[in-house]
């Protein structure tokens, strides 16, 4: 059972008994007990296993004595919206970008506050290992159509009236973006050119994982054929988005973070901006240059949201395509990131391929996955191999010099180390990447 409890969610295979309806039912009851909850919002994605898992989750919650607001099949950030706007804890049944035979459970406290390993998930894992006491009452279930309110909420954060009639190619990956994207574009000037917007949890066209370049091929072709101003690729539960410029070139998460941070700092001078430690140095340098306060944090949504709450940050960004907004209850939203970029483009009157050059001074490797059975030993060897560098252990191992740096982190779920390298040019990045991999031991490495 412990294998499905991750750092900031629950996730596992449904075809091998890792994640079962019984476990979902137990988690529901434990979640109610942990929070002394009276009502919980529950949404789910379009995977074949989601209806059964969400029904079991609802059974566990109601048996625990709490009522349920059943939101139906929605993006994860709709659950965050209901949690934030109504002051309720929330549950989303989703495995995000994982293959169809996986599913998972994302949890949040009232106000969309995260529930991770250090903020309640470890307690839930311990609670589900033993019988839960009967609550003495059974909660009610009522349905809520939350999407119209969610769209209205997102549009209150941007100024749709300032948007120009840009052409936007959107690849939903057959995931949950397709449940809301038409409603969003019905209320803004930009034109939607849709691709794979039909909900299909078998993901028949390509995996709903836009972090992998091969999954962007169809969208890049559509941007070119339609002469779109912007391309948007969503992951399976639509809390994450990746962007393609007008020339068909993908933006890194760091580039998007920098562009959105600049937009916020023009409106809220001196604001704090959170970035995880794998984003480009360009992000904190830009924030500092513009008079803002950059705040570096660990990778992962529960950590980012917690730091935003502690520091009052207006925005947070991750290299992996998660973008967090204080005005959105500090929750991540791929759709809101898209809307902000549309306003950035509209206000500048320039092409994205031009704007991006202003925030991309460095070369980067992207994430390299290195297979090893001795993650801890490999990280220790690498740390010892660079005695002249500055080293920190905020999240894995970060080794840095004035003109270059790398981070090496263990995967939570696989025998992999994840390597990210940044330097002044491609040659320096390749040289440092090879040096690190040689220290690890020549393991097979892939992007």
Catalytic hit among 96, 252, 280, 302? 96
Nearest CA among 282, 279, 284 for reference residue 299: 279
Tokens of 83: 């949690």
Quick check: 421 and 433 in contact, CB under 8 A? Answer: yes
- Residues 29 and 36: their CA atoms lie apart, in Å, by 10
- Nearest 5°: phi and psi at 440? -65, -35
CA 59 from centroid of its chain's CA atoms: 28
Q: Is 443 a catalytic residue?
A: no
Three-class SS state of 268: coil
- Residues 368 and 301: their CA atoms lie apart, in Å, by 21
Q: Render 50-116 in DSSP notation, one character per residue.
A: HHHHHHHHHHHHHHTT-EEEEEEE--HHHHHHHHHHHT--EEEE--TTS-TTEEEEEEEEGGGEE--
- Residues 339 and 260: their CA atoms lie apart, in Å, by 10
Quick check: 23 and 128 in contact, CB under 8 A? Answer: yes
- Label residue 225 exposed, middle or buried (CB < 10 Å: 0-12, 13-18, 19+): exposed
Contacts of 286 (CB under 8 A, 6+ apart): 258, 261, 262, 359
- Residues 135 and 155: their CA atoms lie apart, in Å, by 41
Tokens of 69: 């607001």
- Label residue 198 exposed, middle or buried (CB < 10 Å: 0-12, 13-18, 19+): exposed
Q: How many CA atoms lie within 13 A of 205 on its CB side?
A: 20
Nearest CA among 299, 447, 441 for reference residue 369: 447
Quick check: 355 and 289 in contact, CB under 8 A? Answer: no
Nearest CA among 185, 187, 230 for reference residue 345: 230
- Active-site residues, by number, are 96
């Amino acid at each position: 059972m412990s294998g499905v409890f991750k750092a900031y969610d629950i996730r596992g295979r449904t075809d091998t008994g890792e994640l079962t309806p019984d476990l979902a039912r137990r988690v529901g009851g434990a979640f109610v007990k942990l929070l002394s909850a009276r009502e919980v919002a529950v949404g789910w994605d379009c995977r074949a296993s989601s209806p059964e898992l969400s029904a079991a989750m609802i059974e566990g919650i109601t048996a625990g004595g709490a009522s349920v607001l059943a939101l139906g099949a929605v993006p994860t950030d709709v659950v965050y919206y209901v949690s934030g706007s109504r002051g309720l804890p929330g549950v989303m049944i989703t495995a995000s970008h994982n293959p169809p035979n996986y599913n998972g459970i994302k949890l949040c406290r009232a106000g969309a506050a995260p529930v991770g390993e250090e903020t309640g998930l470890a307690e839930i894992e311990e609670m589900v290992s033993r019988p839960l006491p009967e609550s003495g009452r059974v909660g009610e279930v009522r349905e809520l159509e939350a999407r119209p309110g969610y769209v209205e909420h997102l549009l209150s954060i941007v100024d749709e009236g300032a948007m120009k009639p840009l052409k936007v190619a959107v690849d939903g990956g057959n995931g949950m973006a397709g449940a809301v994207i038409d409603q969003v574009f019905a209320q803004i000037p930009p034109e939607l050119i849709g691709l794979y917007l039909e909900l299909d949890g078998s993901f028949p066209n390509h995996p709903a994982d836009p972090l992998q370049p091969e999954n962007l091929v169809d969208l890049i072709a559509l941007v070119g054929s339609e002469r779109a101003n912007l391309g948007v690729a969503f992951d399976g539960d639509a809390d994450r988005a990746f962007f393609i410029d007008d020339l068909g070139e993908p933006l890194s998460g760091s580039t998007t973070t920098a562009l959105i941070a600049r937009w916020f700092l023009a409106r809220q001078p001196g604001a704090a901006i959170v970035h995880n430690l794998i984003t480009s140095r360009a992000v904190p340098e830009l924030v500092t240059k513009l008079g803002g306060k950059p705040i570096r944090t660990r990778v992962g949504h529960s950590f980012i949201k917690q730091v935003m709450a502690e520091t009052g940050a207006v925005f947070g960004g991750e290299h992996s395509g998660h973008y967090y907004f204080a005005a959105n209850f500090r929750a991540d939203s791929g759709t809101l990131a898209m809307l902000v970029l549309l306003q950035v483009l509209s206000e500048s009157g320039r092409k994205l391929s031009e704007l991006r050059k202003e925030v991309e001074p460095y070369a980067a490797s992207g994430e390299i996955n290195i297979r090893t059975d001795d993650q801890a030993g490999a990280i220790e060897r690498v740390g010892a191999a660079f005695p002249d560098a500055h080293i920190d252990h905020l999240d894995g191992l970060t080794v840095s010099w004035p003109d270059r740096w790398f981070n090496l982190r263990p995967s939570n779920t696989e025998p992999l180390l994840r390597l990210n390298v940044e330097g002044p040019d491609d040659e320096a990045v390749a040289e440092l990447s090879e040096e690190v991999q040689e220290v690890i031991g020549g393991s097979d490495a892939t992007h």
